Amino acid sequence: MPLITVNDGEAAFVCEPGDTLLRAGLRSGVGLPYECGVGACGCCRGEVGTGEVIDHWPAAPGLSDRDRRKGRILACQCSPVGDVQLRLRLDPAAVPAIPPRRRTATLVAVNDVTHDIREFVFRSEEAAAFLPGQFAFLSLPGVERERAYSMANLANDRGEWRFYIRRVPGGDATGRLFDTLKPGAEVGLDAPYGQAYLRAESPRDIVCIAGGSGLAPMLSVTRGYAARTARDGRRLDFFYGARTPADVCGQAELAMLPGYGEDLGFQVAVSDAEAAQAAGWTGRTSLVHELVEATLGDRLGQCEFYLAGPPGMIEALLQLLQTKHRIPPERIHFDRFF
């Protein structure tokens, strides 16, 4: 197998057939920085010193034209032809607590959540090992590229993996999941990945903010918080942003957790005022970041934040938290998907 050497020996690992440079490094416990793992964020870019790689997505948005002119690559999109020497930034914080593994999983149940979100439950022979808030890559039959989906549950010895997935109109992967895949079907499951996992050791109050199928990782984080045996005086506030009342979800799952209504709160904002009025919606009508600011006020500066949702929602929240309220980046956790 090809030997990958990073920064003249700062780290080294082997790359198994079918792996990218990023995944091979993470499997070996190397701290390769990344957010999305799918070629969009650009966090894993670097340069090839010697050797040759195959670029599986030359047009990936994670590289700028300037990056390409300088010969930079994305570790998440490249596989080695032979031994390779790389130059890229390593980050001790990116060393995986649980190195990812490939496995086969079987679809065992499908449940409706909203009109366009379903829960897909898979089971693997080995334990489901991951941190609250992490994601997996699913290889679906008949779909060319893997897709990243976040787990909604907690790690368990039963090998159970629960995903909340929103149908993407015209999407190959979600079309296969929603229309073709039946219980008993097998998929490839590569996990865990992601940096936006619960920091259980933080003494601060927690704020989870979700939109769309971003509900899944925020449910996992919240379940991890609620599973603590010690009630240490912290609280968790969960905010969900929906476009219409028909898109609202999450409360039923949260209401089953210990502390709901006490140190665990839930609020929803619907952004489409016309749809809200037509449906007789009596709750908050606004963008979710506006609800967060109105609710927390001065408490914003004292909290730890976990975000998951559409890019526009994430950008609005970063403007609110980082630019307006000067929240340090190390207290804002999200995996940047596009």
Q: What is the domain-level CATH number for residue 157?
A: 2.40.30.10
Are 49 and 154 contained in the same domain? no
Mean pLDDT rounded to a whole number for the chain: 95
Per the structure, the count of domains in the chain is 3
Has residue 199 been placed in a domain? Answer: no
Has residue 304 been placed in a domain? Answer: yes
Are 42 and 86 contained in the same domain? yes
Are 169 and 50 contained in the same domain? no
Are 67 and 116 contained in the same domain? no
Are 180 and 82 contained in the same domain? no
Among 158, 193, 228, the domain-final residue is: 193
Q: What is the pLDDT of residues 263-308, one digit of tens each?
A: 999 999 999 999 999 999 999 999 999 999 999 999 999 999 999 9
Are 268 and 226 contained in the same domain? yes
Is residue 38 pLDDT above 90, yes or no? no
Is residue 336 pLDDT above 80, yes or no? no
Is residue 323 pLDDT above 60, yes or no? yes
With a CB cutoff of 8 Å and minimum separation 6, the contacts of 59 are none
User: How sure is the predictor about 230, in pLDDT bands with cuts at 50, 70 and 90?
Assistant: low
Cα separation, 15 vs 287, whole angstroms: 44
Whether residue 311 has a cis bond before it, omega within 30° of 0: no
Among 138, 159, 193, the domain-final residue is: 193
Question: Which range of residues forms the domain containing residue 215?
Answer: 205-333
| CATH number for position 222 | 3.40.50.80
Has residue 338 been placed in a domain? Answer: no
Q: Residues 108-143, buried b or exposed e (16+ Cβ, 10 A)?
A: eeeeebbebbbbbbbebeeebbbbbbbbbbbbbeeb
Are 217 and 175 contained in the same domain? no
User: How sure is the predictor about 193, in pLDDT bands with cuts at 50, 70 and 90?
Assistant: very high
Are 31 and 110 contained in the same domain? no
Are 168 and 69 contained in the same domain? no
Among 70, 94, 118, the domain-final residue is: 94
| CATH number for position 52 | 3.10.20.30
Q: Shortest CA distance to 225 belongs to which of 194, 252, 195, 200?
A: 200
